[in-house]
Amino acid sequence: MHYTHLGRSGLSVSRLCLGTMNFGPFTSEADAFVLMDRAVELGINFFDTADVYGRKRGEGVTENIIGRWFAQGGGRRDFVVLATKVFGPMDLPARPDPNLDRGLSARKIIRGCEASLRRLQTDHIDLYQMHHVDRTCPMDEWQGAMATLQRQGKIYHVGSSNFAGWDLAAACTTADLRSQPRLVSEQSLYNLASRTIELEVIPACRHFGLGLIPWSPLGAGLLGGALAKTAGGRRASTPEFEKQVNAKRPQLERYEALCQKLGAAPGDVALAWLLAQPVVTAPIIGPRTLDQLSGALRALELKLTPETLGQLNEIFPGPGGSAPEAYAW
């Protein structure tokens, strides 16, 4: 396994991050335990979750699964760099609570952190991430809440997710002015087929030294060999997925042909492309099986040549670079 620092922090994390969103709804607790044990054996020390994962509002299903895995002992919690998130609704359907609905108020953040700690059966969170920007809440309020949690030793680092470039710039600048905890990372949608963040978010991450944690690195399956897997009805798919495949079919045909020429699986190429981007810390992988988990490690050894990177950029050209040069002189 390869490791790198998370942004400008001193925290060392694996170049692949284990995503746990499937734990509960699609992956049983027993299978999740096996996947996490195997991830640790492979050297993956970076786990990502969220309080809302589990598809049962207010219950924190996925965090509870991870907490019971930690409770088995054996050094599990000591090895893992644990990242979770706050923002989404955590009130129970039978008991609506506006202060547990979406947002980043001080009350929401502090109570959300304490609830996550209980579910995760740990005394600290290594990376506490805001799951989405909240422009209805003053920035000094959520920054103060994060500072309180950091002073209490309940969180070590603060990260963001789904922030715009100007949100990152404002957050980092005001944190420095107020001597508040600085963001160390941003988690965004980023893959070969979804490159909008190259306009503003990536330049902001680069300027302020934030590590980028891409979610959906395979484009919800589009970059994982969608054409080959769906050919002849070999893979069940939704009408929406079929629509997405057909919309990008010419690109996917060129992409999968290039992967075949390289002798590499499309999913491995997609991950290797992300790993080749200097600002990327660790793409989030969400394996459902041990084979998928072990297979993801192939991307770490797949070195794409400048020629191959150029061909991939031709197939999936992105926005044309950073703003404003991407659309202006």
Catalytic residue numbers read: 53
Q: Read off the amino acid at residue 209.
A: G
Q: Is 46 helix (H, G, I), strand (E, B) or coil?
A: strand
Q: Which two tokens stand for residue 108?
A: 């929401």
Helix and strand element counts for the chain (H, E)? 14, 10
Distances (CA, A) of 246 to 30, 219, 253, 260: 36, 14, 10, 20
Strands in 81-86's sheet, in edge-to-edge order, are 211-215, 183-189, 155-161, 125-130, 81-86, 46-48, 17-19, 284-285
Q: Is 300 helix (H, G, I), strand (E, B) or coil?
A: helix
Q: Are strands 81-86 and 3-5 parallel, antiparallel or unpaired?
A: unpaired
Q: b or e along 17-38 (b: 16 or more beta carbons within 10 Å of the residue's beta carbon)?
A: bbbbbbbbeebebeebbbbbee
Q: Are strands 211-215 and 284-285 parallel, antiparallel or unpaired?
A: unpaired
Tell me the H-state helices in the chain: 29-41, 61-70, 76-79, 106-120, 139-151, 165-178, 201-208, 226-230, 239-247, 249-262, 266-275, 290-296, 298-301, 306-315
